[in-house]
Amino acid sequence: MEKIAVKVDDLTVAYNYKPVLWDIDLQIPEGVLMAIVGPNGAGKSTLIKAILGILKPIAGSVTIFGKPYATQRKHVAYVPQKGSVDWDFPTTALDVVMMGTYGSLGWIKRPGPNEKKRALEALEKVGMLSFKSRQISQLSGGQQQRIFLARALVQDASIYFMDEPFQGVDATTEVAIINILKELRKANKTVVVVHHDLQTVPEYFDWVTFLNVKKIATGPVKDTFNDDNLTKTYGINYKVSIQK
């Protein structure tokens, strides 16, 4: 069996009284491209945030390559939802991507020419090099998403968590994201993506997790992505025939 990149045990998260995630056990093997799917309010984003320590779980533990997450931050990169920040913030595209280097710099130390070089390379990878000096509010939604992606790429991590990167993006950006995903898989990186569009799951991903407060199923797309699990997750009788 492959190495386990992320292991989640008994994870339970609640806002106020109602549990948002209940007793999640999840193992994500190294090198997979995993989609997390489920209806609105299923706790998909919450799962990622709890794994990353942004939300404090009520119970449960998360290990990255067998060690506690807090000691493994350098191996993990995060692409938050595009709408989670104010894009009218006074800064440029390059500057946002540079933020990806802050973690490896640590406290107080300023980014230098080396960090700038890495940021420019990441911008080129997502096809945004010519926008490097653009004020971020002047970018389209898809371009903003690619900036976020570039910022995560700069971290040069082993595991990438992406929260709905395909949400409301144009065709160019969708292609750019897919190419990045493929490249990451080639480099044996682990990528976990909160995903909404069920139709594209078999095309883009090789591993899938069904989530609706509880974990419904997880495994390779070819074994797991079926009408049975879809129905269990979404509650309605799912009769989409999925091409495999």
Q: Which is nearer to another protein, 163 or 169 (CB)?
A: 163
As a three-state string, the secondary structure of 6-27 is: EEEEEEEEEECCEEEEEEEEEE
Considering the rule CB under 8 A, would residue 14 count as an interface residue with another protein? no
Whose tokens are 């993006």? That residue is 169
What is the closest distance, in whole angstroms, from the C-beta atom of residue 135 to another protein in the complex? Answer: 4
What is the closest distance, in whole angstroms, from the C-beta atom of residue 78 to another protein in the complex? Answer: 5
Considering the rule CB under 8 A, would residue 108 count as an interface residue with another protein? yes
Q: Is 59 helix (H, G, I), strand (E, B) or coil?
A: strand
**Which of 19, 50, 47 is closest to 34 using CA atoms?**
47
What is the closest distance, in whole angstroms, from the C-beta atom of residue 52 to another protein in the complex? Answer: 5
**Which of 185, 194, 114 is closest to 154 using CA atoms?**
114
Q: Which is nearer to another protein, 142 or 229 (CB)?
A: 142
DSSP-assigned letters across all residues of 164-209: STTTT--HHHHHHHHHHHHHHHHTT-EEEEE---GGGHHHH-SEEE
Residues numbered 129-168 forming contacts with another protein, rule: CB under 8 A: 135, 151, 155
Residues numbered 48-87 forming contacts with another protein, rule: CB under 8 A: 49, 52-54, 73-74, 76, 78, 80, 84-86
Query: Rg of the chain over CA atoms, in angstroms?
Result: 18
Stretch of 27-35, 103-111, 188-196, 198-206 lying at the interface with another protein (CB under 8 A) = 103-111
Q: Count the alpha carbons within 13 Å of 120 in the hemisphere toward its beta carbon.
A: 9
Contact positions vs another protein (CB under 8 A):
49, 52-54, 73-74, 76, 78, 80, 84-86, 89-92, 96, 99, 102-103, 105-108, 110-111, 135, 151, 155
